[in-house]
Amino acid sequence: MGTRSPTYVHKSCAYITRDEAELLAFESPEHDGLQIPKGTIEPGESPRAAVFREIVEESGLSAVGPTSHVASDVWNRYESPPKYYVRHFFHATVHDAPDEFTHVVTGEGDEVGLEFEYSWIDLREPHSFALDLDDYLYLLEGAPDQPTAVGSAAD
């Protein structure tokens, strides 16, 4: 038997900030650690269009400012067969959002119907994120200049 080829899944991820020093985050029942709105890019969809769609589906926020591309990478969860995630991180701002809120995920996929509890976290403080989603936080305005190692959850 031959080995199976690795799978590549393209994802868009949203760093949403307010007042420059606060990041929107949630905890999912499926992973340990904080997460951000993110999801799979659909066929024919650009990463930027996908991030706007994912923000609405996963948080319900529709009034976010323009996005800027922060970084792209290839991330591996070390599954068998190998599965690689081509991740595109975008930064968006919001000025009028509650301090805490819940949202039931819409759209398509495994998370539809899950309820995410959102809050704003201080970018200047270390936090533990799932799936290495904090890899590029240090590039945002208001964040520390260098990454702070606090241990990211693998799943």
Q: Is the CA virtual torsion 118, 122, 125, 129 positive or negative?
A: positive
Q: What is the mean pLDDT of residues 93-109?
A: 93
Q: Which pLDDT tens digit goes with each residue over 5-40?
A: 888 999 999 999 998 899 999 987 777 899 999 999
pTM to 2 decimals?
Answer: 0.87
What angle is formed at CA 25 by the lines to CA 145 and CA 43, rounded to 5 degrees? 100
Residue 80 has pLDDT above 80, yes or no: no
More confidently predicted of 155 and 2: 2
Q: Which pLDDT tens digit goes with each residue over 33-44?
A: 999 999 999 999
The residue extents of the domains of the chain are 7-139
Helix, strand, coil abundance in the chain, percent, nearest 5: 10, 40, 50
Quick one: how many helices (H) and strands (E) in the chain? 1, 8
CATH 3.40.50.720 fits 7-139, yes or no: no
111, 11 Cβ separation under 8 angstroms: no
